[in-house]
Amino acid sequence: MILARPGRWIVGRLILALLALSSASACFAVSQIDTFEFSDEVQERRYRALIDEFRCPKCLNTNLAGSDAPIAQDLRKVVYRLVVIEAKADQEVRDYLQVRYGDFVLYDPPFNARTWYIWVVPIGLGLLGVFVILGLQRRVTGQSTVLDSSQQARLRSIVQGTAAADADGTAGAKNPETKS
Amino acid sequence: MNRASLFVPLGVFVLILTLGYVGFDLGARSELPSALINKPFPEFNARLLGRPEQSITRDDLLGQPTLVNVWATWCPTCLSEHEQLMQIAATTDVQIVGVNYKDRPDKALQWLAQFGNPYRWVLDDRDGLLGIEMGVYGAPETFLLDARGEVVYKRVGDINPRIWRSELAPRLLQLGVSIAGSDADGARQP
């Protein structure tokens, strides 16, 4: 939930930016010419917040506020009626639309049998990524740890052999074992 | 590092491609699942088209399977599915109820006179309020109700011969509707 909101905000801005660049179909036109009257500011703010919150069922990724599709206009009227005339609470408005149009109209989908995977998969993939990174790190540090005694001995013999060969001034470095 | 593990990044890449493909494929689906499937059809009280003094309610639909078809004269797809509806009306005993959605009654009546009327009743939903109760977001949409008034199937888009054969006819047979010219097991087009 916490993650979904800023994500949605960014996506929303991106969509607006795209809209500004394109003269898309009526479905996408960001204009709202409804002339509703509100008795007070709180009511109007609630109405605006709610139509921002719902997804237009016709246009796959526009909210009710941003859509000129006929169904979005109708649903804005419904939200207005519920908020202003029938004085319903926000949650009652959400329930009203969800009963009729399904989880689709909610941008914050509930966690249920049909939607669990959209919540679980990103968390699962994130955890998987953390494990992969931890695993890789352990392998890298595992390789660079201290040499055991036989490796130490071999290293010493290589280093000494090279040193001896250099002192001889011969090309014997290729085969230091025989020289030492 | 063994040789096989060099292919792990390729595997991951293919996995990402596959997920992306599937994801975009899902996104292309423009039909919403209906919130009404396996739920009772909403209560309503609607006037009949052209007979405003007469109205019917949900109770009038009960007792037998019903196709509820949402249509309008401004909807070209509704015209293209009309012949299929006429055929269903002629060859089956399912009751078909039309919902004339956000339309002008005079145009709607003229349309029915011109192209034929497959409906037992046509409800006048000129302001689209019944449509909202039904979760309609465009036309045509068709709901199949069982005798108890529960929605067993919804189609967004036209009823064409393919949908009739593969989705609608088998469900009608299941509900006990008799279809002229069909086998007991199959759902061939009559």
- B126 to chain A, any CB pair closer than 8 A? The answer is no
Write out pLDDT tens, residues B97-139.
Answer: 999 999 999 999 999 999 999 999 999 999 999 999 999 988 8
Q: Are A70 and B102 inside 8 Å of each other by CB?
A: yes
Here the ipTM equals 0.76
pLDDT of residue A19: 58
- The Cα–Cα gap between A102 and A112 comes to 13
- The Cα–Cα gap between A44 and A83 comes to 9
Q: Provide the number of CB pairs (under 8 Å) joining chain A to chain B.
A: 38
Q: Are B137 and A102 inside 8 Å of each other by CB?
A: no
The domain spans of chain B are: 34-184
On whether the pTM is more than 0.90, the answer is no
Which CATH entry fits the domain spanning A41-105: 1.10.8.640, 1.10.10.10, 1.10.3720.10, 3.40.50.2300? 1.10.8.640
Q: B89 CB contacts (<8 Å, ≥6 apart)?
A: B96, B118, B119
Q: Are A101 and B135 inside 8 Å of each other by CB?
A: yes
- A164 to chain B, any CB pair closer than 8 A? The answer is no
Write out pLDDT tens, residues A68-91.
Answer: 888 999 999 999 999 999 999 999
Q: What class is the B34-184 domain?
A: alpha beta
CA distance A1 to chain B (A): 21
The domain spans of chain A are: 41-105, 112-141
Q: Are A78 and B132 inside 8 Å of each other by CB?
A: yes
CA distance A169 to chain B (A): 38
Residue B189 confidence (pLDDT) above 50: no
> In order along chain A (180 residues), what is the average pLDDT of each group of 10 residues?
52 62 46 73 92 86 88 92 92 92 82 83 94 87 73 88 67 47
- The Cα–Cα gap between B95 and A171 comes to 102
Closest Cβ–Cβ partner in A60, A78, A102 for B35: A102
- The Cα–Cα gap between B129 and B81 comes to 23
- Are B175 and B146 in contact by the 8 Å Cβ rule? The answer is yes
Please name the residue of chain B whose CA is at the shortest distance from the CA of residue A114.
B33
pLDDT of residue A144: 60
Higher-scoring residue by pLDDT: A82, B1: A82
